[in-house]
Structures are given as C-alpha cells and as structure tokens.
Amino acid sequence: MDLPRYDLHCHSTASDGVLSPAELLKLAHERGLEVLALTDHDTIAGFDELKTLNRNQIRIISGSEFTCQWNSRILHIVGLGIDSESAKLKKYFSHLEFLRTQRAKEIANRLIKMGLPDLFSDAENAADGGSIGRPHFARVMLEKGLVSNEQQAFKKYLGTGKKGDVKIEWPDLSETISTINESSGLSVLAHPTKYKMTFTKIREVIAAFKEFGGAGIEVSYPGVTPDQHLHLNRIAKNNQLMVSAGSDFHSPNHAWTDLGKFPPLNETENHILHRLMG
Ligand code: AMP
Ligand code: MN
Ligand code: MN
Ligand code: MN
C-alpha cells in the first residue's frame, strides 16, 4: 500500500516553532502534504486551532513531543493520535508547563551569573503563552545582539553541558509512555541518533522503551545517515516496533529542514501510518 505524503513530527508557535498553526497548515498545503501531525514540545495546544482551520483537506493527527528521562538521559517521545480531551493528559501537560516555567527562571538566573542581562521576561514573551524552552532564550539573545546566531547561543550558553542547559526532573520514560497509552495514543521514540549515544546504548533504550509499552521509532528525519536508517529499521523489526518519520520542522529559516522533508524510507510495511489511519 502506498503511503500518503505526510509529516509526523513538526513544531509551531505553541512551542519552539516559528510558524503559527495557521501558517504551518498553509505550508503543508504548499508542500502537498496529505497527513500532518503537529508535535509541539510538551503541549497539544495547537491541535484544536489546526483542526478548526483545516476543514478536512489534510488529515490532522493529534500529537506532542514529550520530554522525559531514562537513567538520567533526556529522551524525546512523540505521542501520536492522543486524545486531546484526556484528563490524565491535561494534568500531565499542566505539570510540564509548571516545570518548564520553573526551569526557564533557573536558566535566566544561570545566564545572569554568566554576565548576561535578565532574559526571563523576554523569553517568556517570545514563548507567547506556549511551551517555553531553550530556543526562546536563543532567539532573545540573537535579538539583543548577545550572539550572532541561535546556533552560537546553544554552543556558548544553552547546549548540552553548558550552564544554561538546566537539568530538571522530567517525567520518567515509563510514566510518559503510560500517559500516552492511557490517552489512546501511540508512543514513538524521536530521532534515536540525536542523543549522542552509541548504537549499543540506543538498543538498550529501545528495549526499555518497548518494555514500557512503546509502539514505534523514528527511522527517518533530517540528519539520519543511510547506514543509521538501516540500523534503525533492523532494530525496529527485531523489537516488533513500527516505524515513523518526520521533518522536525521548526522554522523556514532553518535551511536543513523543510516541512514534509526527510530521507525516503527503505521499508514501509510496518509504518505507524497504517495504524493511525486504519
Ligand atoms: P528544550 O525543550 O528547552 O530542552 O529545548 C530543546 C529544543 O532546543 C530542541 O527541540 C531544539 O529545537 C533546540 N535545540 C537543542 N539543541 C540545539 C542546538 N544545539 N542548536 C539549535 N537548537 C537546538
Ligand atoms: Mn524544538
Ligand atoms: Mn526532539
Ligand atoms: Mn521535535
């Protein structure tokens, strides 16, 4: 069975994307997409808007990219087909909103100690009521001329291991997966090669993910190499997991991503779209 043109991982202004759900939908039309899942970080806030605007032209799948931890490693789980009305999910996301705000305050404090002005209010304004994260700080730093691009903001202040990379108690992987499952969704491990882990470690994570009730893994996304793609396909098969793919689109200004764009998949029989659309 041929798959429709789709993207199962992208961001809007409801988190750290720069396009509103309306603008994203327009771009999805321009790119000829037939299926779209909006997967903002730790929120589903853009979903209703997207649904209302869409008028059934593109099949919209509800989604979110859940930040969680496993053995003190941060992982991203894309939850797809989740029930946006689920009380459990609402409670989960409101806790995450609190956690992210607390973390943003701490990020601002750490940056002050590094000699930067207090950026909390500006970052909060940049997030505009959406899920606040490090990219909002990067954006503000660029606007204020404190860095020459956002990449530099991560390299100097916000990236892994830097002072502004504030660690907090994200939910555990098992809790995240059960929340997604109890909200009628499917859990997908996002971009497995982007956690600076060896393939041995990735296999370990995926075994735990499967045991906790995970449904699939992303095997194609910008930056994945053909070799990594084959490895991930094999791991999916060995663990009886479905495969998924998405652009992780955040902004039209990022030359390396575009909505609906990711390397072609080698195999699609066990694609999660079959389940989501079935
Ligand atoms: P947070 O949710 O606050 O932990 O921020 C994570 C987001 O920051 C990711 O989803 C990316 O959009 C962005 N990000 C992480 N690392 C980098 C980096 N090195 N350069 C640019 N953006 C990054
Ligand atoms: Mn992001
Ligand atoms: Mn991610
Ligand atoms: Mn993402």
Spell out which residues have Cβ within 5 A of ligand 4, the ion: 65, 248
30, 71: one domain: yes
163 lies in a domain? Answer: no
* Nearest atom in ligand 1 to 67's CA: 2
78, 97: one domain: no
What is the domain-level CATH number for residue 27? 3.20.20.140
Q: In the chain, what percentage of residues exceed pLDDT 70?
A: 100
Taking CA atoms only, the protein residue closest to ligand 1 atom 11 is 135
- Answer whether residue 1 shows pLDDT above 70: no
Q: How many angstroms is it from 112 CA to the middle of ligand 3? A: 27
Nearest bound ligand to the CA of residue 194: 3
Domain endpoint, select from 123, 138, 158: 158
**Does residue 133's CB lie within 6 angstroms of at least one atom of ligand 1?**
yes
Tens-digit pLDDT profile for residues 89-98: 999 999 999 9
Report, as an integer, the average pLDDT of 16-26.
Answer: 97
**Does residue 151's CB lie within 6 angstroms of at least one atom of ligand 1?**
yes
Give every strand in the sheet of 216-220, ordered side by side: 63-70, 73-80, 186-189, 216-220, 242-245
Q: How many angstroms is it from 260 CA to the middle of ligand 2? A: 16
Domain endpoint, select from 158, 186, 208: 158
Number of domains in the chain: 2
85, 216: one domain: yes
216, 126: one domain: no
268, 175: one domain: yes
59 lies in a domain? Answer: yes
194, 271: one domain: yes
101 lies in a domain? Answer: yes
Structural domain range at position 137: 93-158
